[in-house]
Amino acid sequence: MLDLFSGLKRIIKRRAVHIDNAVFRLHWLLTAILLIAFSLVITARQYVGQPIDCLIETNLIPETMINTYCWISQTFLIPSAFSKRVGVEVPHPGVDNSRNVAINDRKYYAYYQWVCFVLFIQGVLFYVPYYLWKVWEGGLMKSITMGMQIAILADEERGYKKKLLIEYLYRHLKLHHYYAFKYFFCEVLCLVNIIGQMYLTDRFFDGEFMSYGLNVISYTQKDIKHRTDPMVYIFPRMTKCTFHFYGSSGDIQKKDALCLLPLNVVNEKIYIFLWFWFVILAIITFLVIISRLFIFFSISIRSRILQTRCRFSNSKYLTIICKNGDIGDFFVLYLLAKNIDPIIMQDIVAEIGKRLERNEFITHLSNGDTERINML
């Protein structure tokens, strides 16, 4: 079993340069790994072992044959039987006499053989926004940080690298807005993806997933005598299967089989966890998108965020940089503060701030001279 997860080590390996924030990593790193890991668990249980075990009242049909048939076709339950008392009126939840029950009044289950594939595809889709951002980012942050994650560098090397980075940032002021917008677009894509994932999962389970978590919470608060377990309704442990075959005289015979689905015990736990996780992650991502709007329109908010990130830097210089730069410069500094030692970042912010302050002073003097000339 452990060998199945060895391929995930490449995804979770530590990265020297960070090009995103914690919420973004919850999507492409944590959620993607969880979904792929769940897929591997289901795959191992589904194809190594017995995913279904059916009981039929005849020796004419081999056990392996009826098991395989019911697994690859579909099983069903009677929804009205869920309200009946188990052990008194019905043997198991949803299992009842279906002789006089119309086909439309039956609930069919065929999703269980596709769960492992759906989980894997969902994991890949959660990784797509990061892959897109990584391509667009193009290794810029790795190039300009130049290994300055730690301050323990030779004085000559550190001074040379700082000078290069300061010159780059100063000369490319107001030229990183597309860089920031591409990242913000990937964050919006994360929100669209998780909402779309919830909708598609709901369609996959015939409209039962959206209310799944709420129904489970409601179920735990009801009296045990008057409640229907939503986990058993969506992921039944016992189902029915109808097998048709020819009798000895050539007539079509029909046999009812009672099937045990042990895999659904795992499925119900996985999807109750995913329901709560998707809801929490969607709310957090939505709040991040809202915060981006405030950051985009407010220079003071940008300055305060940089002050919390660049804890050793002078707030005065950070404010000057935010006033003279745009959203792209803010975002580049924000990422730099995550990838460069705070002491080195302090020197970089101070040097750029002083240059911009000097430019503001010269511009102010030039405007004053122009006004005096006009007055004369």
| pLDDT category of residue 6 using cuts at 50, 70 and 90 | low
Q: Which residues pair with 244 in a beta bridge?
A: 254
| Nearest-angstrom CA–CA distance, 59 and 66 | 11
Q: Is the dihedral of CA 259, 202, 79, 246 positive or negative?
A: negative
Its pTM stands at: 0.88
HSE-CB for 51 with a 13 A CA cutoff: 24
Please say if the pLDDT value at position 374 is more than 50. Answer: no
| Nearest-angstrom CA–CA distance, 316 and 306 | 11
Please say if the pLDDT value at position 59 is more than 70. Answer: yes
HSE-CB for 24 with a 13 A CA cutoff: 19
Tokens standing for 98?
């279906």
User: Domain limits of the chain?
Assistant: 2-297
Can you tell me whether residue 147 is helix, strand or coil? Answer: coil
Winning range, highest mean pLDDT, from 35-49, 189-203, 215-229: 189-203
Please say if the pLDDT value at position 372 is more than 80. Answer: no
pLDDT given at position 51 = 85
| pLDDT category of residue 375 using cuts at 50, 70 and 90 | very low
Can you tell me whether residue 86 is helix, strand or coil? Answer: strand
Average pLDDT for residues 178-200, to the nearest whole number? 96
140-165 tens-digit pLDDT: 999 998 888 776 777 788 888 899 99
269-320 tens-digit pLDDT: 999 999 999 999 999 999 999 999 999 999 999 999 999 988 888 899 999 9
| pLDDT category of residue 368 using cuts at 50, 70 and 90 | low
pLDDT given at position 21 = 92
Please say if the pLDDT value at position 237 is more than 80. Answer: yes
- Look over the chain and give the mean of its residue pLDDT values, rounded to a whole number: 87
The fraction of the chain above a pLDDT of 70, given in percent, is: 90
| Nearest-angstrom CA–CA distance, 208 and 324 | 52
Could you tell me the maximum CA-CA distance found in the chain, to the nearest angstrom? Answer: 120
| pLDDT category of residue 226 using cuts at 50, 70 and 90 | low
Tokens standing for 44?
């191992």
Instruction: Kindly write down the DSSP assignment for every residue of 174-187, as one continuous string.
Output: T--HHHHHHHHHHH
Question: If you count DSSP H runs as helices and E runs as strands, how many of each does the chain have, helices first?
Answer: 15, 5
Decide if 72 contacts 113 (C-beta within 8 A).
yes
166-177 tens-digit pLDDT: 999 999 999 999
Distances (CA, A) of 269 to 199, 205, 232, 248: 19, 15, 11, 45
Can you tell me whether residue 248 is helix, strand or coil? Answer: coil
| pLDDT category of residue 227 using cuts at 50, 70 and 90 | low
Buried b / exposed e over 251-276, threshold 16 CB at 10 Å, is eeeeeebbbbbebbebbbebbbebbe
